[in-house]
Amino acid sequence: MPDTPPPARPRGVSRRNFVNGLGIAGLGGVVVGGGAAWAAKPAGSGIGGTAAAGDPIKIGSVAPLTGPYSGDGQEMVRGAEMAIDDINGAGGVAGRPVELVTADISDQAPENFIQAAQRLVSQERVSAVFSGYTTTTSAEYQIYGDAGVPMLHANTLQSNTDFVVDNGITSIYQVCPTEIWYAAGFLQLMRQWIESGTWTPSSNTAAVIASNDSYSISIATVFQEGLREMGWDITFYDEVTAPNADWGPQLARIRANPPGLIFITDYLAGDLASFATQFAGAPTPSLLYQQYGPSVPEYLDLAKGAANGVLWSTTIGTLPDDIGTSFRERYQSKYGAPAGLSQSGAQYDAVRLWARAAAQAGNPDDFDRVNQFLAATVFRGVVGTYAFDPTELTAVPYPDKVNDPSLGMPHLTYQIQDGKQVLLSPDPYTQGQFALPPWMAGR
């Protein structure tokens, strides 16, 4: 088990090469294991600060607890709470209990993230920070980087990864593959369905709609590039401001010139449920893909029957295997509500991943040593396997970049069938097969 970080390598591939599915960068220096080794004896002096044995270890959860993203924020905090229950039930980390401190980022204004980082680092003096979202500009990253405190997030953004690399930050980890993989992964599935005859598009055209943020626009841009390389045309491209409840203008254009595919990269569950409901009033013979948002439980509550047939993906989602199913059952028992399919499991895993590294380091406040173990780990959680690219400190996707599910985070694609989430890809986790949506069946 190495005590030093793996060596750096040149930064990763371009967006175009992602679409083209170019090969894998090395994963050198990984350490295998996902056990609950949290109760190791303390060792060494604390770089992040010192604490008496038995004093609580504070960790921070940065989440939208109020506002339009609060459904996802609730999932984040609950996942972290469940991890802490497990860790403390096993004796804590280095003999100390773990305590959660939350920071509300509400509408995700950049100043909210900055204030949260300042409070958690300077006032609360946390030993680690966890978040589902961050700023798109990485505005708060230098605060965490200067402190050296481990920060694990699932913001799914290549520009965040680039900021970490460009600024030599060695303590910020993106626990999921970046947004670029959404396009490459779905393009690959499209080709498979078309070549196998499972789906014959009504036309080789697509309508692409994004929310006007860098995350959504990046996915939409890469996807359009890939479609054009397949010989497809874009009937129209539009950007909306989230939250957006009125899809009338976009649906009017779709119905005037029906595309073979509708691809939406707005990720807000309420927005996507509104689109599905309004689309169902007069559907076109088009596949409907909605990125990420249907993973949040409120999506099905809002969309109801209009959700049937919708396709969606996440680069970090709770698996429907024994490990993931056990987690969801425990979540249901604890909170009296079903777990979402992304953030609850992601935050549960991230906290446990950190706890194992902190226990291996012997002192959760020795940030340098904790980060050495984090960077070198391979960890099997409820959403799959975490293995960080040694330079980018970002999770590697399976099967988009590696062919071995024991070394990559599964890029999951679901279809909602009869009100249930059915995992279509990738093997060996699949639950069912793609089916034509009810509005296209029999056409």
Does the pLDDT value for residue 20 go beyond 50?
no
3-state helix, strand, coil in the chain (%, to 5): 40, 20, 45
pLDDT recorded at residue 52: 55
pLDDT recorded at residue 53: 63
Average pLDDT over residues 344-353: 98
pLDDT recorded at residue 396: 95
pLDDT recorded at residue 441: 84
Model pTM score: 0.84
Average pLDDT over residues 232-242: 97
Is 405:394 a contact under the CB 8 Å cutoff?
A: no
Question: How does 366-400 read in b/e, with b if 16+ C-beta sit within 10 Å?
Answer: bbebbbbbbbbbbbbbbbbbbbbbbbbbbbbbbbb
Poorest-pLDDT segment among 7-11, 86-90, 289-293, 391-395: 7-11
CA pair distance 166, 240, nearest whole angstrom = 31
Share of the chain above pLDDT 90, in %: 86
Sign of CA dihedral 192, 197, 198, 202: positive
Query: What class has domain 180-314+411-425?
Result: alpha beta
Tell me, yes or no, if the two domains 57-178+319-410 and 180-314+411-425 fold the same way: yes
Render pLDDT for 68-92 as a digit per residue (tens, 0 to 9). 999 999 999 999 999 999 999 999 9
Render pLDDT for 179-232 as a digit per residue (tens, 0 to 9). 999 999 999 999 999 999 999 999 999 999 999 999 999 999 999 999 999 999
Domain definitions of the chain by residue range = 57-178+319-410, 180-314+411-425
Cβ atoms within 10 A of the Cβ of 428, count?
A: 7
Does the pLDDT value for residue 44 go beyond 60?
no
Render pLDDT for 261-293 as a digit per residue (tens, 0 to 9). 999 999 999 999 999 999 999 999 999 999 999
Q: Which residues pair with 211 in a beta bridge?
A: 240
Most confidently predicted of 24-28, 52-56, 100-104, 338-342? 100-104
**Cβ-based neighbours of 369, under 8 Å, separated by 6 or more:** 3, 44, 47, 361, 362, 363
CATH of 57-178+319-410, one of 3.40.50.2300, 2.60.120.650, 3.30.70.360, 3.30.70.3270: 3.40.50.2300
Q: At what angle do helices 322-335 and 70-89 cross, to 10 degrees?
A: 100
Residue-averaged pLDDT of the chain:
89
pLDDT recorded at residue 54: 79
Is 184:218 a contact under the CB 8 Å cutoff?
A: no
CA pair distance 269, 284, nearest whole angstrom = 22
Three-class DSSP category at 235: strand
Is 343:132 a contact under the CB 8 Å cutoff?
A: yes
pLDDT classification of 51: cutoffs 50, 70, 90 = low
